[in-house]
Structure 1
Amino acid sequence: MSEPILKLENVVKTFGRNEVLRGVDLDVAPGQSLVVIGGSGSGKSVMLKNALGLMTPDSGKVFFDGHDVTQSTGKPREMMRARVGMLFQSGALFDSLTVWENVAFRLIHKERLKRSDAKERAIATLKKVRLGSEVAGLYPAEISGGMQKRVSLARSIISEPDLIFFDEPTTGLDPITADAINDLILEQVRDLGAAAVSITHDMPSARKIADEIAMLFEGKIIWRGKAADVEHSGNEYVDQFVHGRASGPIQPAM
């Protein structure tokens, strides 16, 4: 297997007395799709923010392409982020910008590409996620939730990143639209040859887009294996979560 493009090594993150991450070890190689499952409050989003550099671990290390980026700021951090795409849970589109301006945001504001060239690339990228040029001049409020997700996906892949993070990519979508988004995620990640790290509690989505699944529980990775093995993991916590049972070692959040 290739060397990991992303590696978290014994990452700890605490907020006051709340130790959210308690020594997370995780890695993903180029071309690999890893899905991290876990309930609300298990630390998935905090783990992702530490991996992306939006938070700094209290201890432990984060490596990107073999380099320790745990404490990196400024240009080194920007160089990493230039190779990373992100699809946010809410889509996080800018309401005041048109669809194509949202997709081309990095090209215009970071890479300083001419607007005409950026628009051309944005429209080409929209086609990759099954959106025609007729939506390019619309605003996010003028398109459906499923289309907004596609626009967000286009924005995450326009710079052809080496690593893409997906934060609950199917939240708020009906099952048919969610499955279409999963298909697009699979297609685009494979076309790019990128590594993908997704966090979700949507098991149909996890089964479909993952090569491997890992479960985060109480701030630690308690199981990792092939997606095909998640149904018979031999781990009682994973088994309860995967089958959505109220009874078991995991207490329902009330």
Structure 2
Amino acid sequence: MSAPLLKLDGVVKSFGAKQVLRGVELEVAPGQSLVVIGGSGSGKSVMLKNALGLMTPDKGKILFAGEDVTKATGRAREKMRARIGMLFQSGALFDSLTVWENVAFRLINSEGLSRRDAKERAIETLKKVRLGADVAGLYPAEISGGMQKRVALARAITSEPDLIFFDEPTTGLDPITADAINDLILEMVRGLGAAAVSITHDMPSARKIADEIAMLFEGRIIWRGPAADVDHSGNEYVDQFVNGRADGPIQPAI
């Protein structure tokens, strides 16, 4: 395997007396799709925010392309983020912008493309996620939830990033639409040769899009292995989670 593009080395993060991340060790290489599973409150979202630089770890390091970006600011932080795409759980589209303007947002506001060139590139990217030019001028409220997710995916890949984060990519979608989104994620990641980190509790999605699966529990990675091994991991926590059983070492969050 090639050198890691992203590496979390002993990342610790607390909020007051509550320790959310307790020494997370994680890495992903170019061309690799890693899915992190875990229940609500396990620290998945906080881990993602630390990796993105939206939060700063209390201890540990974040390495991107071999460089320590743990406390990077300004130009160094922007240089890293320019190489990263993000698909947010809710899609997080701008209601006041059309579909193509959403997709082209970074191209116009960060990369300085003209609106004409940015629109052309946005429409080309929309085609990659099976959306036609007829959708480009619509607003998010005028399209379905599944189409919104595809628009969000188009926005995540339009700059051809080296690393893509997927935050609960199939949440709120029916099984058929969710499977279509999984297919698109696979296609986009393989087409770009990008590293991908997804966080989800949707096991059909995890099994389909992952090369490897890691489980985060109480702020630590407690298991990692090939996606094909997740159903016979030998780890009682993983076994309980992937089979959705109430009985086991993980207590229901109720």
Please say whether Structure 1 and Structure 2 have the same fold, judged by a TM-score greater than 0.5. Answer: yes
The 5-angstrom pairing of residues 120-135 of structure 1 reads 120-135=120-135
Does residue 92 of the first structure (1) align with residue 92 of the second (2)?
yes
Residue 6 (structure 1) shift: 0.1
Partner Cα separation in structure 1 for residue 111 and residue 193 of structure 2 = 22
Partner Cα separation in structure 2 for residue 195 and residue 6 of structure 1 = 8
The 5-angstrom pairing of residues 1-254 of structure 1 reads 1-254=1-254
Secondary structure of the structure 2 residue equivalent to 1:76: helix
Secondary structure of the structure 1 residue equivalent to 2:197: strand
Partner Cα separation in structure 2 for residue 153 and residue 140 of structure 1 = 13
Partner Cα separation in structure 2 for residue 162 and residue 57 of structure 1 = 23
Q: TM-score, normalised by structure 2?
A: 1.00
Q: Deviations over 1:56-81 (max 9, x none)?
A: 00000000000000000000000000
Residue 192 (structure 1) shift: 0.1
Secondary structure of the structure 1 residue equivalent to 2:214: strand
Residue 172 (structure 1) shift: 0.2
- The amino acid of 2:230's aligned partner reads V
Q: CA RMSD in A?
A: 0.2
Partner Cα separation in structure 1 for residue 253 and residue 96 of structure 2 = 37
Q: Deviations over 1:188-233 (max 9, x none)?
A: 0000000000000000000000000000000000000000000000
Secondary structure of the structure 1 residue equivalent to 2:253: coil
Secondary structure of the structure 2 residue equivalent to 1:50: helix
Percentage identity across aligned positions?
A: 84
Partner Cα separation in structure 2 for residue 214 and residue 144 of structure 1 = 32
Q: Deviations over 1:71-112 (max 9, x none)?
A: 000000000000000000000000000000000000000111
Partner Cα separation in structure 1 for residue 203 and residue 18 of structure 2 = 27
- The amino acid of 2:162's aligned partner reads D
- The amino acid of 1:219's aligned partner reads G
Partner Cα separation in structure 2 for residue 110 and residue 188 of structure 1 = 22
Secondary structure of the structure 1 residue equivalent to 2:131: coil
Q: TM-score, normalised by structure 1?
A: 1.00
Secondary structure of the structure 2 residue equivalent to 1:161: coil
Aligned residues: 254
